[in-house]
Structure 1
């Protein structure tokens, strides 16, 4: 086996391992050969569907094979190699095989070994993740990024006044100082927890996570740290509001952001700083070997954490250019070019994995809808922060060369869109707002008393989604006006065209006026459906026939509607946002076109969005004749509706 290992490392050839069932049932003392011991250890950690193969390839390669940050050098020399068992059904060269490994998602069957060859006594030893973090290693990773010319454009934070925080923690004096010029600073992203905010004791008695962040800042050679609870005066509402609006710029301008991705409150601390890690990678010592499994990849390490599930941390992660994650197993450094864990470094672009940056949105602005969907699935303590927690990303995109505006969180994208067939589609700003308003929430509750509009996703709790086919293909001729605080309506088109007056800075009320096709519908409970908020929308066609299709209310009104006569259960107005499909279809049989609507309910101030509906004519049901593809459009009128 030793000869096979030596040959594999020198030639890159895989070693074929034949698994003997009795030997695979490992007990201490059965396997004497140290390398066989490791192979058995790796084998036992394989998924069951992989163990069924009679023959597996033992892949092994030194760390220099694909594990060095791109555009730079390895932080320090190493003799680490990696072992992995793969089914022989995958036939490819070793290098090609390793390129396909998703190392950042990790696997417990990937074992790193520090090789020390001794002619008289062959030993394979493992470098393990320590109980305390290695500051020198982290500093070397930081230097590899900050000194590399290939990193400067992407990873260096902007140094303009708009990104300066107004206050910082001086980690040497433990005092809060005002920022008068540019300072290199570190930002902290952490979970506030449910404890009462108290800054009266000062920084020396601050929660463990903040004390540890101060120590890390000092040890890495920085002096200043931005922590929201100390750098934002929580008792001054005007200052607090202004700083919250700038939080996106603050994280984007930080030289490094510490991500406290462990624990559920600030008393947990940063693992490996003042307290040893409790969940370091497992170790075992068969014969003369030390084996440590590589911890799971970064997504796996943080996905179950309280930090990962908080709404505020989403934009803090997206907007930060350099990140230092603290998990219960190891620390992970990440910039916009590569990842460097304490167990190994990867030259692979982190954007190819589920690591959040703004690049996908810059390349395809429609990705902002996916970002909002992800954000809506996170937890938020205070309802009034729902828009604030994402505003940093939205404001950042509004400042890009190709501005992406938003109106109460509803994106207004670029007017010009190039299809996959290189066809250029130009949409007007009101049509773009209608596209943004095609959001759907299957089950949610109204954010009452928050002054959030019902026509925006921020007006509701629940998971937000968009249909990308509709986003790309919806056309609309609707007109839109936006009210200011005096209730004066301003044409949306004019607001967007005034480049010096950004929508985000315009003093707007929550009401908009939409001129669109509308029609009346009656909703009845769909007793066949298992979905509690699924209804039948009933209307009269233009030739007087009664037809119905599916509709969905955001809040469940089933019990209320079920108690009434079906045709009088609930009267709603359907407002057509636009039509998806080719407008050149035969007008008598436009079956490929889809009408996308919002369901409205009248209130004293206008109309409130309460649900969604879309229909194609071939899916409309004539109650007397069954399925029908005739022209059974409802009788529509064009009117101007005030949405609140």
Structure 2
């Protein structure tokens, strides 16, 4: 650990241990920000090798989200004292357990802080949480075991049973015996660790029919060269006192198709039943190793500390949440459900080891582990706040929002890599069926996904239908459903489409069928279920009847004429086509840009007279006109009434307010429709694809380029 002097400017701070242990009210928000030091980045670069604080200030700046490099032009920065609780901001901590850290940000930009400069001491000097501690060059196995044992002893039930109701299936058929270094059949009830990692392109060897016998012989894995990450996982498992380890590449016989599919469909059980999941969060291949296990990977992190006085050492302590958000592991699709479904994770990340359960976060470089319910890092493992007073449907939608931006080497894996989530949360939604990530019991609501941001680019994903978010690569979210006031009332009174789907057996069936699905139908009074110890409503249609298959209470048709019956004989088979009858029309769309800022660009729907009568939250195709190109005609289908909770969102656009003014809005079912933009499939005659979504004012329905008509639609 290097010793440094301080420059004249940094000496003016009169740094002492007391400054770091005091409880400050400072935050990085504009109201409480009080700069105590400022300067230019070029000054820090000049004093990098001579002043310990300047060195850490520059390292902190370079680690921020804007990730500046040496080639970037110079800029001004400023630093202030803030609370050192970035990972634990929502935890219920008594004040004296918090200290202070120096936060440095780019002046005027006011980026959210990524790292703080904090006090670093030995545990023999201080034992209060949230202060940095010296971290040895070797892994302290006893400390890791103490974290695990504390979790087991103090909150085993809380960490084993979250909102995800995982069905306990038999454990996987094969395990790695880390003592005998070979594959063995798994014993019932055996305790094991599991590995979650990024495969990369060359993850060999793998277990196949041709290697199964060889890998089942004692000492087999001493006689083959294993990827570094797998070797480290075996070593960690031995060190922690476990004998069994589950790794997908070796514990699944890769060329046994049915067995492989069965295990893929059981990922929820495999990872939730593991005593501990080892997460290789750093590295984009199986050869990267577990960062923080080897001495060389730990040495790099030790460079982030500086001794500036005989009794004062400070260091850069990055928040776990930011590191997880930006690491290789969190970008990949398959690793998502592995993190969500695991009860306890030992995370190897940027040369450090973290222990994360559903209640606590421990880290090597901080003293103690604190109980927390929603620290800033937790959403990146896909675990919503357990205090949510919410039904399972929006929890599922939140999980989809975290999963959808992730990358898959093979795009067709999109359904399999999410299957564990469906299996786990399905029972909380009464056992509803899933169709490409959409719930059958609330299908109209599940269709209301949209791009996560206006500048997000969605591209078509092969192997999944366009009507599902799985059919598009890119980040999606459920903005519309988050504003619902009464979801069950909306499902049964503000929708009208009878949705059909072509199933795996090429049969045309209803998406919702209360006699087929195991879900308990909500009637009045509304049914509910216990979620996190609270009663939560299930979003659900009513009981299916021959004349009312979706069990709606009332049907408010968008036009006076009743719809014709679906002609099932004309619906193609062989793909999960969505078939239905609804109102179809053609309108113009016009792109409007505010202040040349792409994030504030939105798309107007215009009637035949050019009057703005709606808005498109997104449009996925590349033929979108620029603001200078004028208008483009698009086909629109009406799928439901917009919920009244969307009033302020729908009227947020400048042009909408110009037309309607600030008025007292009556319930939105009389105001607007949810609509989809559709386009003919380029290769399949008679098939449409979903290419956008938005809202259309109800009174504009008859002002389109063509009169609204009932039309049978088949979406591919």
* Partner residue of 1:147 out of 127, 134, 153: 153
* 1:456 CA displacement: 0.9
SS at structure 1 position matched to 2:301:
coil
SS at structure 1 position matched to 2:235:
helix
- Paired residues, number: 553
Q: Do the aligned partners of 2:671 and 2:698 also contact (CA within 8 Å) in 1?
A: no
Are 1:336 and 2:408 counterparts? no
Q: Do the aligned partners of 1:518 and 1:575 also contact (CA within 8 Å) in 2?
A: yes
* 1:606 CA displacement: 4.1
* 1:260 CA displacement: 0.6
1:610 equivalent in structure 2 = 690
Are residues 550 and 222 of structure 1, via their aligned partners in 2, closer, same or farther at CA, if it must alter by over 3 Å? Answer: same
TM-score, scaled relative to structure 2: 0.64
2:347 equivalent in structure 1 = 325
C-alpha distance in 2, partners of 1:512/1:479?
A: 10
* 1:383 CA displacement: 0.6
CA shift digits 1:197-235 (9 cap, x unpaired): 433695332111101101111111111111010011222
Are residues 445 and 576 of structure 1, via their aligned partners in 2, closer, same or farther at CA, if it must alter by over 3 Å? Answer: same
- Give the root-mean-square deviation of aligned CA atoms: 5.2
1:516 equivalent in structure 2 = 582
Which residues of 2 match residues 29-178 of structure 1 at below 5 A?
A: 51=79, 84=100, 107-114=115-122, 127-148=133-154, 150-155=155-160, 162=169, 164-178=171-185
SS at structure 2 position matched to 1:162:
coil
2:445 equivalent in structure 1 = 435
2:556 equivalent in structure 1 = none
* 1:322 CA displacement: 0.4
C-alpha distance in 2, partners of 1:409/1:643?
A: 16
Are 1:578 and 2:641 counterparts? yes
1:636 equivalent in structure 2 = 708
* 1:142 CA displacement: 0.9
Unaligned segments of structure 2, at least 5 residues = 1-12, 27-33, 46-50, 62-75, 104-112, 126-130, 522-539, 541-572, 648-662
* Partner residue of 1:554 out of 620, 637, 651: 620
C-alpha distance in 2, partners of 1:241/1:132?
A: 40
SS at structure 2 position matched to 1:351:
coil
Which residues of 2 match residues 37-436 of structure 1 at below 5 A?
A: 51=79, 84=100, 107-114=115-122, 127-148=133-154, 150-155=155-160, 162=169, 164-195=171-202, 197-199=204-206, 203-204=221-222, 205-276=225-296, 277-281=298-302, 282-289=304-311, 291-293=313-315, 295-343=317-365, 344-355=367-378, 356-357=382-383, 360=386, 363-365=390-392, 366-400=394-428, 402-403=430-431, 405-412=433-440, 429=441, 432-436=442-446
Structure with bigger gyration radius: 1
Q: Do the aligned partners of 1:338 and 1:348 also contact (CA within 8 Å) in 2?
A: yes
Are residues 153 and 519 of structure 1, via their aligned partners in 2, closer, same or farther at CA, if it must alter by over 3 Å? Answer: same
Q: Do the aligned partners of 2:672 and 2:696 also contact (CA within 8 Å) in 1?
A: yes
TM-score, scaled relative to structure 1: 0.71
Q: Do the aligned partners of 1:339 and 1:350 also contact (CA within 8 Å) in 2?
A: no
C-alpha distance in 2, partners of 1:290/1:586?
A: 62
CA shift digits 1:555-589 (9 cap, x unpaired): 213599x99xx99x766352434333389999999
1:468 equivalent in structure 2 = 480
Are residues 116 and 513 of structure 1, via their aligned partners in 2, closer, same or farther at CA, if it must alter by over 3 Å? Answer: closer
C-alpha distance in 2, partners of 1:213/1:69?
A: 34
SS at structure 2 position matched to 1:140:
helix
C-alpha distance in 2, partners of 1:163/1:459?
A: 32
CA shift digits 1:60-79 (9 cap, x unpaired): 99xxxx99999xxxxxxxxx
